[in-house]
Chains A and B, each alone.
Chain A
Amino acid sequence: MAYSDKVLDHYENPRNVGTLDKNDPHVGTGMVGAPACGDVMKLQIKVNDSGIIEDAKFKTYGCGSAIASSSLVTEWLKGKTLDQAAEIKNSAIAEELALPPVKIHCSVLAEDAIKAAVADLKSKQPA
């Protein structure tokens, strides 16, 4: 399988690997995928008091494209509002990483992870 240089770079040097305190009210956690399908992504975002994402961390079990997709979105998420974050589309991820067609589902999973993390955070915040 020939990967783009960007995938290889994220795979070799993943950005923002780690874990945030999931019980922190400023932290939203999204976990998507299933081990049986060969990929599980955990994405966490932390917002400051003005609602801006100031930190993002991930852990991913999956192929190189899945690791690269989640690594990339942690870079993109920082500095965005929750609404801006929810607008990140899988097509943009796939395009940035030049994912081959059989790996598009990795970018879909990353988009789902963002949505899940945002939803988790919103559910924690007072309406």
Chain B
Amino acid sequence: MTVKTPIYLDYSATTPVDPRVAEKMIPYITEHFGNPASRSHPFGWTAEQAVEEARDEVAKLVNADPREIVWTSGATESNNLAIKGAANFYSGTKGKHIITVQTEHKAVIDTVRELERQGFTATYLAPEPNGLIDLEKFKAAIQPDTVLASVMFVNNEIGVIQDITAIGNICRENNIIFHVDAAQATGKVEIDLEKLPVDLMSFSAHKTYGPKGIGALYVRRKPRIRIEAQMHGGGHERGMRSGTLATHQIVGMGEAFRIARLEMKAENLEVRRLRDRLLAGLEEIDEVYVNGDMQHRVPHNLNISFNFVEGESLIMAVKDIAVSSGSACTSASLEPSYVLRALGRSDELAHSSIRFSIGRFTTEEDVDYTIALMKSKIGKLRELSPLWEMHLDGVDLSKVEWAAH
């Protein structure tokens, strides 16, 4: 058995473009290069047709009407457009309070913070220790002037799935616009927007084997949701998002979402089997803690803290695998993962966390190699760790008075 290193286990960061997707995109860079907005010649018509076929495919994966899909540059732009666009459109009639969650992606948190600077107020709900929202706490956060709520479908770090139906129903009862960031959900969980009480939903192509630089925003038509454009220009996308459409990117997203619709059921079974194999292997190591609920969770994500081992040194030790860490030292901010902190995890455990995310091209050999590598390197680093030594001596580390620095 041979595995090719480094092994890619960071599918929640991005995915490779599926070769079938890349193949479909290429003619739209070279041959069918027309501007889809050109109505006067076949170059434009061909491009427009490809864009509309892709729109159909994106709509089909989430059971929406194609007219409800607006192309954007990615989920970050979709989140900005949805939150700023709806907040500004409806604030005059409803009010200026927004509800979101502490574990949202920065594209949501920082957008809400920007609106706070512009005069809105916001509640950032703390999740329960398993990462899920307590519906009673959500209800309690609602104010008479709450105009918008934004809750992510699937968390990017810990993979937990929020109860979007229940939260959406509460929003409906209270006449609150409901936005959902679904960047991490497509191809992983069933999304049926005919049934889901959601008004706005953000999508990204590159988390689902499509290209980077393309995404979409779902904007409900019945009842019709209005947003203020954030990008002004030629009035593309029904005036909601101007800018020449990137035909090849859009074709790629359409093909990626078509493949996801056809293959997600079988793929998720296999991915879950591999994830559970990885979990079983890693749980043979002492003092490991899974972060986030294991029941309400996407099949490909595993986030684990390895106690008494610091995250960055762990990442250095496991160079043969490509994973993400919640450690401060691997980020620019020098703060440990704000998502794990919001779950109430101690700084130590947040520092010691690794996110494994597996996907379409992960093999059983990759998983077995990873288990063996983690066991050996955790052992080596714990040999080096004074905290591990104290733990073995029976010292309660929480009772030690540390000289903080």
Contacts and interface: CB of A to CB of B under 8 A. Distances in A.
Q: Do A and B come from one complex?
A: yes
Interface stretch (B94-102, B109-117, B139-147, B396-404): B396-404
A37 B404 CA distance: 7
Contacts of B348: 35-36
Interface stretch (B41-49, B261-269, B308-316): B308-316
Contacts of B387: 35, 40, 61
Given A14-B384, A36-B346, A102-B334, A61 B404 contact: no
A109 interface: yes
B389 interface: yes
Contacts, number: 86
B386 A64 contact: no
Contacts of A1: 312, 329-330
A40 B402 contact: yes
Contacts of A108: 405
A107 B384 CA distance: 18
B351 interface: yes
Interface in B350-405: 351, 383-389, 397, 402-405
B383 A19 contact: no
B404 A39 contact: no
Nearest to B403: A32
B310 A32 contact: no
A67 B386 CA distance: 11
B316 A11 contact: yes
Contact of A34 (B330, B334, B389, B404): B404
A60 interface: yes
B386 A11 contact: no
Interface residues of B, number: 29
Summarize A's interface: helix, strand, loop or mixed: mixed
Given A41-B386, A61-B385, A105 B405 contact: yes
A42 B385 CA distance: 9
A102 B328 CA distance: 11
A112 B313 CA distance: 21
Contacts of A60: 384-386
Interface in A98-118: 102, 105, 108-109, 112
A59 interface: yes
Contacts of A3: 316
Contacts of B309: 61
Contacts of A32: 403, 405
Contacts of A61: 308-310, 384-388
A14 B308 CA distance: 18
B324 interface: no
Nearest to B332: A102
Contacts of A79: none
Contacts of A41: 386
B186 interface: no
A63 interface: yes
Interface centre among B336, B384, B389 (most CB of A within 10 A): B384
Contact of A39 (B310, B316, B336, B388): B310
Interface in A5-46: 11, 14, 17, 19, 31-42
A108 B403 CA distance: 13
B347 interface: yes
Given A36-B402, A38-B327, A40-B402, A67 B313 contact: yes
Contacts of B334: 102
Contact of A38 (B351, B388, B397): B351
A123 to B, nearest CB: 16
A37 B403 CA distance: 10
Interface of A: 1, 3, 11, 14, 17, 19, 31-42, 59-64, 66-67, 102, 105, 108-109, 112
20 contacts: A1-B329, A11-B313, A17-B383, A32-B405, A33-B403, A35-B351, A35-B402, A36-B346, A36-B348, A36-B402, A36-B404, A38-B327, A38-B347, A60-B385, A61-B385, A61-B388, A63-B316, A63-B329, A109-B405, A112-B405
Given A37-B404, A38-B310, A42-B389, 13 more contacts: A1-B312, A11-B316, A34-B404, A35-B397, A59-B385, A61-B308, A61-B384, A62-B313, A63-B310, A63-B316, A63-B327, A66-B310, A109-B405
